[in-house]
Amino acid sequence: MADRLRLVVFDVDGTLVDSKAHILQAMGTAFGRLGLETPPRDAILHGVGLSLPDLMAQLVPDQSLQVRHALYEGYKSASLAQHESAGEGHHAVFFPGIRELLDRLRGDDFTLLATATGMSRRGLDRIIAQHGLDGYFQSTQVADTHPSKPHPSMLHAALAETGVVPEDAVMIGDTSYDMLMAKAAGLHAIGVTWGNHPFEHLAAADLIVNTTDELSTALTHWIEDRT
C-alpha cells in the first residue's frame, strides 16, 4: 500500500524556539510604560500560547478593556523594538536538536509540516526568516486569524490546507492549550517538557517527551504506524 500524507504540526514559542527571555522583557516593558506592576514570571509563561488579548485578560482580569488593549499594543511594540535594536542578541534560538529534526522531517516526501502558534503573522514570519525556514511549512496558522488556543480552528485550517485527515496528523506543543486543541481536533498529541508548562499540565497528551531525541524517536514510530 502506498504511503499516505502525514501532517506534523508544531507550536513555536516554547516548542521550537526558546523565547522566554524575549517574552518576559517585552512584557515588563509593556507593563512599565503604563505604570503597572509586571505579573510574576510564572504567570506570564503559563499564558504563552494564548492569543495576546486572551493572555492579557488572564494576567490582569480586573483591568479595563482599554488598559488590556494598551498592554497588548505595548507588548507588540516592545517585542518589535527588541528585534530591531539589538540584532542577533534578541533572536529566539532553537532548542537543542530542533533544527536537525525539522530537516529530517522535511526530507520525508510524505510528511508535511505546519505551525499552530499564538504568535502573530509578523512574529512567525520573523522567526522563519531568521532561521532560514522558508519552504519548510506547508501551512502556517497564527493567532491573527483564529480564536485563541485551545479552540481547534488553527488545526482545522491546517488540515484543510494540506488535505490530511485528523488521524494522520500530530500536534506537538509545550502547553496544556496545545494538548487540548489537538484533542478537540482529533489529532494525536505529543507534549514536550522543555517549554512553558510543567509536566503535570500536559496530562491531555497521548505522549510526553523530555528531549528532542525522545521526540524524534516518537515521531519515527508514529510515521512508521502510518506507512
pLDDT of residue 85: 64
128/155 same-domain check: yes
Both 12 and 59 in one domain: the answer is: no
Torsion 181-52-160-17 (CA) sign: negative
CATH number at residue 181: 3.40.50.1000
**160-198 residue pLDDT tens:** 999 999 999 999 999 999 999 999 999 999 999 999 999
Which residues lie closer than 8 Å to 168 by C-beta, 6 or more apart?
A: 4, 5, 6, 7, 226
The question of whether 13 is a catalytic residue gets the answer: yes
The pLDDT value recorded for residue 19 is: 86
Q: Are residues 125 and 32 in the same domain?
A: no
Same domain, 98 and 210: yes
Q: What is the per-residue pLDDT for 227?
A: 82
Does residue 66 have a pLDDT over 50? Answer: yes
Whether residues 36 and 26 share a domain: the answer is yes
Spatial distance between the Cα atoms of 117 and 120, rounded to a whole number of angstroms:
8
Same domain membership, residue 99 and residue 196: yes
| Residue 157 included in any domain | yes
CB environment 108-132: b (16+ within 10 A), e (fewer): eeebbbbbbbbbbeebbebbbeebe
Domain C-terminal end among 48, 74, 90:
90
| 27 half-sphere exposure, CB direction, 13 A CA radius | 22
> Could you give the CA distance from residue 58 to residue 162 in angstroms, rounded to a whole number?
33
Q: Which residue has the higher pLDDT, 183 or 1?
A: 183
Total-model pTM:
0.90
Record the cell numbers describing residue 72, joined without a space.
497588548
Mean pLDDT over each residue of the chain, to the nearest integer? 93
Q: What is the extent of the structural domain holding 69?
A: 20-90
Cα angle 31, 32, 33 (rounded to 5 degrees) comes to 95
Clarify whether residues 129 and 178 are in a common domain: yes
Could you tell me if residue 1 is inside a domain? no
**Which residue out of 11, 168, 174, 178 is catalytically annotated?**
11
Q: Is 58 a domain residue?
A: yes
pLDDT of 148 strictly over 50: yes
Count of the separate structural domains present in the chain: 2
